[in-house]
């Protein structure tokens, strides 16, 4: 990896680590991550995994270290999700905001809390769990996150524990802050959890969010995870590390509604036989937005199923990148892996790069991948116009339809309804509603 | 009296190749005209030119609706003025429900005409009534437009749109092709139920059999981009009997 001679993000770490009162294990972890970030440096487009995504605009930002800021309930209202709002954790610039959060008493075996509240008390041994899955020795932004980390959501379900109510975690940043939120979700044997992470930027100046999410599913656990990049997201880098044991079931919906520069990594390791993983993604890009979805699904054990379906809609000068890799390890017989990426380009200057990849080291597998990039179907546009819709309405209807195929995959009803509303507003007035 | 539709010396090109070499045709209010012709004679080109498809270039002549040229009008303007084209190959639109689409279309037209938009509840009642008339399974209304529809369902769906939008001029492009006899009867019954003294139809077809079920007032034969013969319904029977070859010699 190329090391930048000057790394402006380094100065954030120096400012952050000064004078922290925290447990020794966390300080050690933080120091280790900081060393790792200094050694790894910021990747450039010469690095294969960052070929399509330049971080120059990020490095040019004048960023303040994360600090407290007052945010009102009203500021966040558009981002609350009706019907999925009974358990809510709000972090403002990386710091837990109790007044904006809702934490009802939960049945035994379930924990939803800010990580910071469990540093010293967690009986499950947080020191052996936090930052033990996403590898900060290999990934520079995972390292930077750990070095800058202040707080995040901790969600834990013990054996057989089911939490029907979705947990909504809002990571709010007031620009031009640099924030480093981190989510840790541990689903025990046959446990069931639903997690929604919303990333919201308030204020006009560009900020930077470096997020990490670690999710561990024990045997037979079910986790639904939705990740929303909302308004005001300027620069976003998010790493999602998922470990799946035997017969577990993980669903991921990554919805990028707005971002100047976003990179979403999803790294799933199917370490138990018969695990099932479904990844959906939608990118809506306009202006000069650049959104990069980078996915690795690693079939380590036999008879696991993985599905990837990502779509992007890029308008004006926006650009989307899809890089999805499926690895089938020796011995992972009976693997069933599918990858599909479809891109809709609405303008001549929009661009979509797609790179679906399969690495198969095993016979007896079923793998497929495919990608399409294209414009709106002219015949369909004419058909709609011939029924009285004007050009813009016709284009909106077809764009909505293309994008909505992903929204429809969201199985958490209140989230789907919320996103359908957002989409209707985006493509306003298209259906007379 | 002004005709509903007048086509005057119409020449139409696509991609620089002239397909229609001068057609004259007048359709009065409430009349049903059939245009028959072989494949490649220019039938579909004529329908697309009337609907205003941007790929079809009018190089000479004019199309007038109620005495006013529509050549400068966009397809949506023509639709809002009362022209409807039933497509030979209706497009599939995954992700948009038939119901939503129909209501959006109806309201776009009503809005353009300065009429009040139809509410969801009123539309539901309207669409149920029309679907029954067209013998369309209500289940199709909630599915994506034409997605996974059989050939017959797609054509019936076109006629359903016709019934909902209530145009003054309906142009049907080979609506009969690919239909079994039951579907053909359903489509024909739908069209017949929509006939009245103000609504005109232009039926474009290869075969006479549609005209057994929808009786035209006039029949025209289109060959190689020209109307070579016009007559009454008996002309269709003559074509059925003799084919098109005897007319080709007259060109």
Residue ranges per domain, chain A? 8-272, 377-433
Q: Mean pLDDT for chain B? A: 92
Neighbours of B79 (CB within 10 A): 26
Residue percentage of chain B with pLDDT more than 70: 98
Residue pair A272/A247 in contact (Cβ under 8 Å)? The answer is yes
pLDDT band at A433 (very low <50, low <70, confident <90, very high): very low
Q: Do A402 and B95 touch (CB under 8 A)?
A: yes
Q: Do A432 and B85 touch (CB under 8 A)?
A: no
> Which pLDDT value is given to residue A256?
95
Give the end-to-end CA distance of chain A in Å, rounded to a whole number. Answer: 51
**Residue A431 DSSP label:** T
- Contacting A with CB below 8 Å, chain B residues are 51-54, 74-76, 78-80, 84-85, 87, 90-91, 93-96, 100-101, 103-109, 112, 117, 120, 144, 161, 165
Contacts of B74 in chain A (CB under 8 A): 385, 390-391
pTM given for the model: 0.90
Over the stretch B88-97, which tens digit does the pLDDT of each residue have? Answer: 999 999 888 8
> Which pLDDT value is given to residue A373?
96
> Which pLDDT value is given to residue B33?
97
Residue pair A247/A221 in contact (Cβ under 8 Å)? The answer is no
CA distance A201 to A194: 23
Please check the confidence at residue A1 and state whether its pLDDT lies above 60: no
CA distance A174 to A313: 27
For residue A294, the distance in angstroms to the closest alpha carbon of chain B comes to 26
Please compute the mean of the pLDDT values over residues A355-384 and round it to a whole number.
Answer: 95
CA distance B124 to B128: 6
Over the stretch B173-220, which tens digit does the pLDDT of each residue have? Answer: 999 888 888 889 988 998 999 999 999 999 999 888 899 999 999 999
Which residue in A282, A381, A386 has the most chain B C-beta atoms within 10 A of its own C-beta, making it the best mutation to test that interface?
A386
> Which pLDDT value is given to residue A20?
66
Q: Do A386 and B109 touch (CB under 8 A)?
A: no
Q: Do A398 and B96 touch (CB under 8 A)?
A: yes
Please check the confidence at residue A121 and state whether its pLDDT lies above 80: no
Over the stretch B42-68, which tens digit does the pLDDT of each residue have? Answer: 999 999 999 999 999 999 999 999 999
Neighbours of B52 (CB within 10 A): 24
Partner-chain residue, chosen from B84, B91, B107, that has the shortest CB–CB distance to A432: B107
Contacts of A397 in chain B (CB under 8 A): 93, 96, 101, 104
Partner-chain residue, chosen from A383, A393, A400, that has the shortest CB–CB distance to B108: A393
Over the stretch A149-173, which tens digit does the pLDDT of each residue have? Answer: 989 999 999 999 999 999 999 999 9
For residue B78, the distance in angstroms to the closest alpha carbon of chain A comes to 8
Over the stretch A197-228, which tens digit does the pLDDT of each residue have? Answer: 999 998 877 889 999 999 999 999 999 999 99
Over the stretch B115-151, which tens digit does the pLDDT of each residue have? Answer: 999 998 999 999 999 998 888 888 889 899 999 998 8
Which of A36-50, A416-430, B180-194 has the lowest average pLDDT?
A416-430
Who contacts A32 (Cβ-Cβ below 8 Å, separation ≥6)? Answer: A136, A146
For residue A356, the distance in angstroms to the closest alpha carbon of chain B comes to 24
> Which pLDDT value is given to residue A204?
77
CA distance A308 to A207: 30
Q: Measured between alpha carbons, how far is residue A393 from residues A85, A166, A389, A396 in Å?
A: 33, 35, 6, 5
For residue B151, which phi and psi values (nearest 5 degrees)? Answer: -55, -45
Please check the confidence at residue A430 and state whether its pLDDT lies above 60: no
Neighbours of B139 (CB within 10 A): 9
- Contacting B with CB below 8 Å, chain A residues are 377, 379-380, 382-391, 393, 397-398, 400-402, 404-405, 408, 430-433
CA distance A124 to A156: 10
pLDDT band at B250 (very low <50, low <70, confident <90, very high): low
> Which pLDDT value is given to residue A123?
62
Who contacts A120 (Cβ-Cβ below 8 Å, separation ≥6)? Answer: A23
Helix axes A10-17, A24-40, angle to 10 degrees: 160
Contacts of A388 in chain B (CB under 8 A): 76, 79-80, 105-106, 108-109, 112, 165
Residue pair B106/B164 in contact (Cβ under 8 Å)? The answer is yes
Please compute the mean of the pLDDT values over residues A7-18 and round it to a whole number.
Answer: 77
For residue B197, the distance in angstroms to the closest alpha carbon of chain A comes to 23
Q: Do B76 and A390 touch (CB under 8 A)?
A: yes
Who contacts B224 (Cβ-Cβ below 8 Å, separation ≥6)? Answer: B21, B41, B42, B248, B251
Over the stretch B1-41, which tens digit does the pLDDT of each residue have? Answer: 689 999 999 999 999 999 999 999 999 999 999 999 988 99
Contacts of B53 in chain A (CB under 8 A): 382
Chain A residue with minimal CA distance to B123?
A: A432
Over the stretch A279-292, which tens digit does the pLDDT of each residue have? Answer: 999 999 999 999 99
Residue B50 has which token pair? 């009337």
- Residue with token string 């577990």: A248
Burial of B156 from C-beta contacts in 10 A (0-12 / 13-18 / 19+)? buried
Residue pair B120/B176 in contact (Cβ under 8 Å)? The answer is no
Q: Which residues pair with B21 in a beta bridge?
A: B11
Partner-chain residue, chosen from A379, A431, A432, that has the shortest CB–CB distance to B91: A379
SS3 for A16?
helix
> Which pLDDT value is given to residue B161?
95
- Residue with token string 């370490």: A271
Position with higher pLDDT, A2 vs A239: A239
Chain B residue with minimal CA distance to A401?
A: B95
Contacts of A393 in chain B (CB under 8 A): 104, 108
Question: Which DSSP string do the residues of A150-171 spell out, in sequence order?
Answer: ---EEEEE-TT-B--SPEEEEE
> Which pLDDT value is given to residue A266?
98
Contacts of B101 in chain A (CB under 8 A): 384, 387, 397
Q: Do A387 and B165 touch (CB under 8 A)?
A: yes
Please compute the mean of the pLDDT values over residues A188-200 and round it to a whole number.
Answer: 97
Q: Do B112 and A388 touch (CB under 8 A)?
A: yes
Question: Which DSSP string do the residues of A160-205 spell out, in sequence order?
Answer: T-B--SPEEEEEEEETTEEE--EEEEEE-TT-EEEEEEEEEEESSS
Please check the confidence at residue A82 and state whether its pLDDT lies above 90: yes
CA distance B251 to B246: 10
Position with higher pLDDT, A192 vs A1: A192
Please compute the mean of the pLDDT values over residues A34-39 and round it to a whole number.
Answer: 95
> Which pLDDT value is given to residue B249?
67
Q: Is the peptide bond before A227 cis (omega within 30 degrees of 0)?
A: no
pLDDT band at A122 (very low <50, low <70, confident <90, very high): low
For residue B161, the distance in angstroms to the closest alpha carbon of chain A comes to 8
Please compute the mean of the pLDDT values over residues A118-130 and round it to a whole number.
Answer: 81
Please check the confidence at residue A109 and state whether its pLDDT lies above 70: yes
For residue B22, which phi and psi values (nearest 5 degrees)? Answer: 100, 95
SS3 for A328?
strand
> Which pLDDT value is given to residue A432?
44
For residue B249, the distance in angstroms to the closest alpha carbon of chain A comes to 36
> Which pLDDT value is given to residue A425?
84
Q: Do B91 and A431 touch (CB under 8 A)?
A: no
Chain A residue with minimal CA distance to B80?
A: A388
Please check the confidence at residue A431 and state whether its pLDDT lies above 60: no
Q: Do A383 and B79 touch (CB under 8 A)?
A: no
Here the ipTM equals: 0.96
Chain A residue with minimal CA distance to B165?
A: A387
Of residues A153, A171, A150, A152, the one with CA closest to residue A66: A150
> Which pLDDT value is given to residue B11?
98
> Which pLDDT value is given to residue A210?
96
Partner-chain residue, chosen from B84, B93, B117, that has the shortest CB–CB distance to A398: B93
Q: Do B94 and A405 touch (CB under 8 A)?
A: yes
- Long-range (24+ apart) CB contacts under 8 A made by B117-121 are B117/A432, B120/A433
Strand A208-217 to strand A177-179: parallel, antiparallel, or no bridges (unpaired)? parallel
Over the stretch A211-270, which tens digit does the pLDDT of each residue have? Answer: 999 999 999 999 999 999 997 778 999 999 999 999 999 999 999 998 899 999 999 999
CA distance A91 to A88: 10
Q: Which residues pair with B62 in a beta bridge?
A: B8
- Residue with token string 């058909």: A383
Please compute the mean of the pLDDT values over residues A42-49 and round it to a whole number.
Answer: 92
Partner-chain residue, chosen from A386, A390, A402, that has the shortest CB–CB distance to B51: A386
A and B: number of Cβ contacts within 8 A? 83
Query: How many residues in chain A?
Result: 433
Residue pair A143/A37 in contact (Cβ under 8 Å)? The answer is yes
């Amino acid at each position: 990896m190329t090391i930048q001679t000057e790394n402006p993000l380094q100065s954030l770490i120096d400012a952050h680590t000064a004078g922290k009162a925290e447990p020794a294990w966390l300080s050690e972890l933080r120091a280790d991550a900081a060393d790792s970030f200094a050694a790894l440096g910021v990747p450039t487009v010469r690095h294969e995994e960052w070929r399509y995504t330049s971080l120059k605009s990020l490095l040019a930002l004048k960023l303040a270290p994360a600090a407290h800021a007052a945010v009102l309930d009203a500021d966040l209202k558009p981002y609350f999700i009706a019907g999925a709002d009974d358990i809510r954790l709000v972090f403002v610039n990386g710091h837990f905001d109790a007044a904006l959060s809702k934490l009802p008493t939960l049945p035994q075996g379930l924990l939803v809390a800010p990580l910071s509240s469990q540093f010293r008390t967690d009986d499950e041994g947080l020191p052996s769990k936090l930052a033990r899955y996403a590898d900060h020795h290999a990934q520079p932004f995972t390292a930077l996150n750990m070095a800058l980390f202040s707080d995040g959501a901790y969600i834990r379900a013990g054996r057989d524990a089911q939490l029907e109510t979705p947990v909504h975690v809002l990571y709010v940043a007031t620009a031009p802050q640099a924030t480093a939120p981190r989510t840790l979700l541990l689903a025990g044997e046959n446990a069931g959890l639903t997690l929604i992470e919303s990333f919201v930027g308030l204020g006009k100046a560009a900020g930077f969010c470096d997020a990490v999410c670690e999710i561990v599913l024990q045997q037979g656990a079910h986790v639904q995870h939705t990740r929303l990049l909302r308004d005001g997201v300027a620069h976003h880098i998010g790493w999602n590390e998922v470990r799946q044991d035997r017969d577990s079931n993980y669903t991921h919906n990554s919805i990028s509604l707005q971002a100047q520069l976003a990179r979403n990594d999803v790294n799933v390791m199917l370490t138990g036989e018969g695990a099932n993983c479904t990844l959906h993604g939608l990118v809506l890009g306009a202006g000069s937005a650049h959104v990069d979805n980078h996915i690795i699904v690693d079939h380590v054990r036999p008879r696991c199923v993985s599905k990837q379906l990502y779509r992007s809609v890029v308008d004006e000068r926006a650009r989307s990148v899809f890089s999805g890799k499926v690895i089938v390890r020796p011995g992972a017989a009976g693997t069933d892996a599918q990858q599909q990426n479809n891109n809709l380009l609405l303008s001549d200057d929009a661009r979509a790069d797609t790179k679906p990849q399969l690495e198969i080291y095993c016979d007896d597998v079923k793998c497929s991948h495919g990608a399409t990039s294209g414009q709106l179907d002219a015949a369909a546009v004419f058909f709609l116009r011939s029924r009285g819709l004007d050009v813009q309405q016709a284009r909106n209807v077809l764009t909505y339809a293309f994008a909505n195929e992903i929204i429809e995959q969201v199985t958490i009803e209140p989230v789907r309804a919320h996103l359908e509303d957002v989409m209707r507003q985006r493509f306003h007035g298209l259906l007379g509603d | 009296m002004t005709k509903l539709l007048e086509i005057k010396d119409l020449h139409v090109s696509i991609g620089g190749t002239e397909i229609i070499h001068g057609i004259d045709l007048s359709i009065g209010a409430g009349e049903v005209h059939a245009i028959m012709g072989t494949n490649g004679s220019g039938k579909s080109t004529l329908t697309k030119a009337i609907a205003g498809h941007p790929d079809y270039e009018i190089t000479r002549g004019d199309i007038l609706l109620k005495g006013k040229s529509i050549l400068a009008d966009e397809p949506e303007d023509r639709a809002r003025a009362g022209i409807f084209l039933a497509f030979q190959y209706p497009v599939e639109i995954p992700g948009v429900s038939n119901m939503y689409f129909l209501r959006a279309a109806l309201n776009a037209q009503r809005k353009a005409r300065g009429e009040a938009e139809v509410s969801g509840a009123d539309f539901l009642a309207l669409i149920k009534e029309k679907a029954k008339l067209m013998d369309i399974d209500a289940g199709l209304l909630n599915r994506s437009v034409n997605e996974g529809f059989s050939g017959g369902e797609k054509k019936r769906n076109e006629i359903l749109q016709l019934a909902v939008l209530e145009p003054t001029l309906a142009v049907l492009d080979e609506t009969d092709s690919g239909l079994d006899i039951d579907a053909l009867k359903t489509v024909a019954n739908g069209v017949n139920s929509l006939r009245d003294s103000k609504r005109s139809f232009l039926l474009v077809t290869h075969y006479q059999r549609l005209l057994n079920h929808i009786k035209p007032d006039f029949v025209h034969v289109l060959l190689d981009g020209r109307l070579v013969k016009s007559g009454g319904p008996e002309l269709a029977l003559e074509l059925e009997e003799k084919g098109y070859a005897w007319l080709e010699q007259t060109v």
